[in-house]
Structure 1
């Protein structure tokens, strides 16, 4: 690739901010077009996607405000495309599709669409996006977990041109159409991605035409340098040293008696940081592995952006671009769960990334007490429901269920929300009933277990019960059924997740499911009820204001007994008040017993 390396003139501050705004607007417009034009709910409603612009060195210039795992992974896709590109060369009018996890992709269902950006006959950059697709012909509909290798994940597309010099590659379009259970949705969603990428390329050229190539790329380089400088500045505020944390994943989706260790060592040296995953479990014989380039590294980048550059807590808003990645090194031994060897399957990779981020936060808690939060659900509930219509056509529905954050330094953990690496939205129940033979029987905050007690309590997870109306198959990827989210600084741990299957006509005949399972055959009227983990508590529960405890009791988030035993608060439920005298005496006894 031709990379522009010459020194560029400094762009004045006003123009710099105008171009920055233009970059961000282009990325947001790309994302908007993608989800508005898509047909499957995982993209159209949940917005499981990412979009942005990139230079010829594959630096991220801007990114849509969507799921971090998507946008941060596209540079890896671009490097993989360089290794595999059909023709070995980019032409104006090309459109490339790519999803190979051993050539930079995040995982196989996330198809990237990349369009080259030409200006005055020269390649100057790329417009690209990724989105999670409902079915790419894998061993089980929608999602896979218990499969032997990457070839069972469905279509592997590496540097393939959907269009060459503006002309559609009919053969590859037909190949894609004929190898998916949800062909029309898949093709229509890819077409939405193509429209989004082409729009990004068009807007990129318009920006260059307006301000000139030198000024636009000069501004891009300044913005990346600024993001890098701010990231390094924040890293340098962390005391140098090694910080460790570890946890255990439930199983690999097949070997139920074998937990998987996740060990994180964070090394801070000056203005640079390394995330070392040495000591984590060896790669698994199932799809429960993580592609290193497209997912493991991206999770580490996201972790430090959350810790150091959160828009809500930072004095200045730092642009989301390549600069924030540069001070961060990621290490994972080849052959481990976070860096598997080809041809190991690596489709079910999300919960491991979320736990890795959770442990980075835990490792740094002693030296960043005012920044970290307690343990979050740090999982994901990704469920694939599928069946066959009377016409013989498949229906496939992918759903992401919410979790909960841990308690924070100044507030309770948010309830029922995607967390850490995830940023998807829920799927409206009305949309479900309109398109899929399913009904949601229950969707509310979890009430069977309290969140982690603390001065700031953990967030409350969701409980969702989905009933199928036809014979169907369910595959479910989740975690944290055996290790509860951790409490911190005196806070109590949260609650583990649960997954139940039963029939609506016999709701007492319940099967307790593992956190992940593949291709479960169910009959009409069967229900899957998922309970996401509750977050851990932050700080001493005896410091929580009595009125907040009372509010939680009245809201049904905390029982009278739990208010007494965990918080030392004596609630009179009949009068809906706190007995302050009894509470003060009880809290004093509890403090004395703890000393």
Structure 2
């Protein structure tokens, strides 16, 4: 386009600049409209190449009919393009073009008014307007005209495009011929700010589906007949093409205009079918709606986790992400979770149900606890539960559980290796109201955290993380209430139940693929304590029996019932080979039988008489999973430990879990230096670790060769070396320092772990699997984590590998 003449705005009118340029502008735009180019990358008809939306060719071919190539007498712009660039030299004048544009605007307004009459029964008049345009081989779209190519039609907002077989005009939607037409029309509704969305409309036949994604305003989609003249379902179909959208095959249909102000179309009954209104939620849950609600529920938990991470203060929560968030239904059953810590998530349902039995809850209440007898895992894991009400109706619960690296006890870090009683591990919080009716009792909670005999060493950090948990729960409660207001309370409850029912169905299908009968496995802790499990699969479900496991552990390896339940839930979830949230519907066809002992210790009211449980949550839970995987024959043993390392003094406490080798399986090798099974935390960044604590990270590497050999080898463990810069108390809680992670089907076991303290003087102190010591400035802690077990016998060099067959689950392991 020519540059604006100098001399100010008045020169435009004096030189008559815009009337002389108008013909060329109209020809530029006109040729594009007359060609009917559907998309930037695809052209329905031959035409000049474009660059930046403009035609470079000086001659445009005349528009052709759908079934022929006769030039249009009304298309003056295509003819004018052959002439001079100026008006009057073989082209139309500015006045003629302006009049044509004005006429198009008038017809557009009439068309919009006719669309309104169409809702009141004026479809026949509107159809006549379209048939006039069809006689010229074009479809009108506002003030634009676009040519059809290959039997296609361009769908844009506010337009109505009848399309019959072969590109010809079909019977009018309002005519009597509709009952003789086997193909009912499709609707192309237009919405504010969006281009038409193709959806089914039963005008005498069955709907063919629904394309729920609308096109952005101003962008064009194209409904074209596929090559070969047919579609997936038969001949004469059409294909919807649009940028960033997959091609969707549609049967041969007519398109009918729906005005932007009209109500969305409703499906009509066909034959014996019942009429059902189009609504966000149907009376019977469907797969698509259930998937949408599943992601909406999961988004609630993810938002909670992100809020907790951002607002927390402690390194363990903010950096290591040692927390979990979940959504539970009105009955207190786990529905969906964020991808956090499995040992936390499986226990939250039991925790909420125990709290409901103990305390009365009302709107605005917040409950806090860490007691293992009420669904807790161990004392550092503090749970915050908030009931969610919409008015007087209970929608469900949101819960968050975070690990506090310091909450009291006889040693810094609140995971003392020598603890024998629950009170020695830290401050015990039985279920109590942190808030009643929206009024919080922070001062009362502070007093409890500082109460003897073993108060917390970081009360301000504890309170800050608890405030972050309350904020996370508040965010989740608001998101759930918003979903209920949007979709309805009944719909939320119905799809929560449907999600659990789907999990139950998937597990039943997975159990049906297992060999019927009984399989058993036996694993031992490094101190010799047995963990026995027997799995019986029947058509009605499965029985998981832990009879034969050790009695109450004299140390801290007792696992509360919630931890055992979490391990079983996690192991059974591995049988389902599809994305599915971890929820308690998986446990419906399963009976868990646990005799009193190490896996279900008794908890008297006095914490000084209750058994210690800190190692049961982090170590026994891993060994339970190893035993279940051996009974199921799913994979070789992973490192089987969390490699817990703690150090601190009177002013701070630090806690971390270190990665190790993963077990191999049929068709895959084990991963190296990863967290497995019941843990899913992140390691602290070296910069954060060295900035906040008096320690230096000297080495963190893969322990090469520690994985078990096999056709598919186990993953390698890791080596981590820390140098302390001031006096600290060091504690380690580990496993697989004596017992090696087992291999399966001839695979070799992984190497056991090892830890030692190298004094500044050069003295080396070997540390036991569960041990504690005092370290001074310059002392180094070297931790070597176990490797994973291998799967399958190693093939000798030159020998052909035997075909893989899934092994039968072992009957016992010693």
**2:615 counterpart SS class:** coil
Q: Tell whether the 8 Å contact from 2:706 to 2:786 is kept in structure 1 after alignment.
A: no
The 5 A counterparts of 1:149-548 are 149-176=421-448, 178=450, 179-251=455-527, 259-292=528-561, 294-306=562-574, 308-309=575-576, 314=577, 316-334=578-596, 336-342=597-603, 343-349=610-616, 350-365=618-633, 372-388=634-650, 394-447=651-704, 449-503=705-759, 505-507=760-762, 509-518=763-772, 520-542=773-795
Q: 1:411 to 1:586 in 2, by over 3 A?
A: closer
The residue aligned with 1:58 is 332
1:360 CA drift (Å): 1.2
Q: CA deviation at 1:14?
A: 3.5
In the other structure, the counterpart of 2:798 is 584
Query: Counterparts of 1:172 and 1:478 in 2: how far apart (Å)?
Result: 36
Q: Which residue of 2 is the match for residue 578 of structure 1?
A: none
Deviation digits for residues 477-515 of structure 1 (CA, Å, limit 9, x no counterpart): 110111111111121111111011112x344x2111111
Answer whether contact 2:511 2:541 (CA < 8 A) is retained: yes
Q: Does 1:119 align with 2:394?
A: no
* Partner secondary structure for residue 649 of structure 2: strand
Quick check: 454-463 or 45-54, which moved more? 45-54
Q: Does residue 137 of structure 1 match 2:408?
A: yes
Report the alpha carbon displacement of residue 290 of structure 1 after superposing the two structures with TM: 0.4
Task: Return the offset for 1:522.
Answer: 1.5
Q: Which has the higher contact order (CA 8 A, sep 6+)?
A: 1
* SS of alignment partner, residue 305 of structure 2: helix
> Please, which runs of 5 or more residues in structure 2 have no aligned partner?
1-281, 604-609, 802-814
Deviation at 1:101, TM superposition (A): 0.6
Aligned CA RMSD, in angstroms, stands at: 1.9
Q: 1:322, CA displacement in angstroms?
A: 2.1
**2:343–2:621 Cα contact (<8 Å) kept:** no
Q: Does the 8 Å CA contact 1:288/1:347 hold for their aligned counterparts?
A: yes
Q: CA deviation at 1:260?
A: 1.1
1:17 matched residue in structure 2: 291
CA contact (8 A) 2:352 2:375 kept: yes
Supply the distance in 1 between the matched residues of 2:444 and 2:308 (Cα, whole angstroms). 21
Task: Tell me, in whole angstroms, the C-alpha distance in 2 between the residues paired with 1:344 and 1:110.
Answer: 17
Kindly indicate whether residue 101 of structure 2 is the aligned counterpart of residue 101 of structure 1: no
Kindly indicate which of the two structures has a greater share of residues assigned to helix.
1
Question: Deviation at 1:227?
Answer: 0.9
Aligned-residue offset at 1:176: 4.6
CA contact under 8 A between 1:176 and 1:183: conserved in structure 2? Answer: no
Matched with 1:29 is: 303
Contact 2:526 2:737 in 1 (8 A): yes
1 CA distance for matches of 2:437 and 2:689?
39
Quick one: distance in 2 between partners of 1:136 and 1:18? Answer: 40
Distance in 2 (CA, whole Å) between partners of 1:40 and 1:295 is: 24
Residues 711 and 794, structure 2, Cα contact 8 Å, conserved in 1: yes
CA distance in 2, matches of 1:60, 1:288: 26
Which of 325, 334, 345 aligns to 1:71? It is 345
CA separation of 1:176 and 1:427: change in aligned 2, threshold 3 A: farther
Q: CA deviation at 1:45?
A: 2.0
Which structure has the larger Rg over C-alpha atoms? 2
Query: 3-state DSSP class of the match of 1:541?
Result: coil
Please state how far the C-alpha of 1:177 moved relative to its aligned partner.
5.0
Q: Structure 1 residues 246 and 585, CA, compared in 2 at 3 Å: closer, same or farther? A: closer
How far apart, CA to CA, are the structure 2 residues paired with 1:199 and 1:298?
25
Q: How far is 1:585 from its partner? A: 8.9
1:547-562 alignment to 2 at 5 Å? none
Q: Tell me by how many angstroms 1:197 deviates.
A: 0.6
Alpha-carbon distance between aligned partners in 2 of 1:94 and 1:340, rounded to the nearest angstrom: 30
Q: Distance in 2 between matches of 1:451 and 1:103?
A: 39
Q: Secondary structure at the residue paired with 1:66?
A: coil
State how many pairs are aligned.
Answer: 509
What secondary structure does 1:140 align onto? coil
TM-score of the aligned structures, taking structure 2 as reference length: 0.61
Q: 1:80 to 1:140 in 2, by over 3 A?
A: farther
Q: Give how far 1:92 is off.
A: 1.7
Deviation at 1:270, TM superposition (A): 1.9
1:275-331 deviation line (CA, Å, top 9, x unaligned): 211111111122221001x2011111101112x12xxxx2x4223322112222222
Q: Secondary structure at the match of 2:470?
A: helix
CA-CA distance at 1:386 after TM superposition: 0.3
Mapped partners of 1:432, 1:188: distance in 2: 20
Cα offset, 1:406, TM superposition: 1.2
What is the Cα deviation at residue 130 of structure 1? 0.5
- Alpha-carbon offset, residue 414 of structure 1: 0.2
CA deviation vs aligned residue, 1:342-374 (integer Å, no higher than 9, x gap): 221212112111111111111222xxxxxx221
The whole-number CA distance in structure 2 between the counterparts of 1:211 and 1:248 is: 51
Match of 1:557 in 2: none
